[in-house]
Amino acid sequence: MKQLIKSLAVAAVALVSAVTAQVAHAEDVMDRILQRGELRVGVQTQGEPVSFVDKNGARTGLAIEIVQMMAADLNVKLVIQDYDWKGLIPALLADKFDILAADMTPTPQRTAQLLFSRPFFYQDTVAFVKKDSPYKTWQELNASGLNVGGVQGGTYITTIKDYLPQATVKEFASGPASAQAVSVGRIDGAISSAGNVAAYATSFDNLRMLEGNITREPLAFATRKDNIQLKFWMDNWIELKTADRKLDNLVDYWWTSMKWEKDHK
């Protein structure tokens, strides 16, 4: 019995030490951000209205304005790094930046690798086609012989496989690339968010959204698993900015309306 108690005591000490070390390391992440005076953020500047380069050559969009506000509240410089969608998570895991700021859904696979903030809003996933397409609802795309596109490495591909299993999946490097493929008739339709599709419809005047929402997904920012304090900070920040409606105003401007087009396109 004494040996068992001794073993349990040693195990408890080891566990406490491990947790303490992890928390200390996590706090060091915030310390390093403040000490270097920089918040490093990884984005995909290829998708209106989340993050893109506007008519003046400036990076902008919903995610960009959110992290600009975050950096201002920390009183540090914002350093933005651009990656293709598939490169975002590997770059974050390699410590290339502190926060991954994109329209990313915290799926079970992703949360096994990363820490996500609480959702900053929810998006409706929809399908879109050419205006002269015979289809009216997204369910009609679930047919053998039809090609449906989505962004590679994203939840849109999973959505096609889960909800349109009879269609053939076509993967693209970005949302605009899939929209262009629909516009020129290379594929029969594509999957994206309602906000993105509204933006694509202005860039390609021959596109239209099909009836019905396929899924509703939470969107959140991410950091590495050991950055516990940074995750808590993002959660608290989102809570505060939701309470004072500043976050709601950004989402309304960039996502639920097309007001941003007049200013940035």
pLDDT of residue 18: 44
- The secondary structure of 118-152 as a DSSP string is PPSEEEEEEEEEETT-S--BGGGG-STT-EEEEET
pLDDT averaged over every residue in the chain:
89
Q: Which two tokens stand for residue 139?
A: 């369910």
Task: Give tens-digit pLDDT for 93-133.
Answer: 999 999 999 989 999 999 999 999 999 989 899 999 999 99
Alpha helix ranges (H) inside the chain: 2-36, 62-74, 85-93, 108-111, 155-163, 175-183, 194-203, 228-243, 246-251, 259-264
Q: H-helix or E-strand containing 165?
A: none
pLDDT of residue 196: 85
Q: Over range 60-88, report the average pLDDT.
A: 95
Task: Give tens-digit pLDDT for 43-58.
Answer: 988 777 889 999 999 9
The whole-angstrom distance between residue 36's C-alpha and the CA centroid of its chain comes to 26
- Tell whether the model's pLDDT for residue 64 goes beyond 50: yes
Q: What percent of the chain has a predicted confidence (pLDDT) above 70?
A: 90
For the entire predicted model, the pTM comes to: 0.74
Confidence of residue 140 (pLDDT cuts 50, 70, 90): very high
Please report how many Cα atoms fall inside a 13 Å half-sphere around the Cα of residue 226, on the Cβ side: 15
The closest of 184, 79, 196, 26 to 127, measured between CA atoms, is: 196
**Contacts of residue 161, Cβ cutoff 8 Å, sequence gap at least 6:** 169
Task: Give tens-digit pLDDT for 192-237.
Answer: 988 889 888 888 999 999 999 999 989 999 999 999 999 999 999 9
pLDDT of residue 3: 56
CA distance 171 to 178: 8
Q: Over range 63-81, report the average pLDDT.
A: 97
- Tell whether the model's pLDDT for residue 157 goes beyond 50: yes
- List, as own/partner pairs, every contact residues 132-136 make where C-beta atoms lie below 8 angstroms and the sequence separation is at least 24, other chains included: 132/206, 133/188, 133/189, 133/208, 135/188, 135/189, 135/210, 136/210, 136/211
CA distance 236 to 239: 5
Residue 100's DSSP bridge partners are 42, 222
CA distance 48 to 255: 9
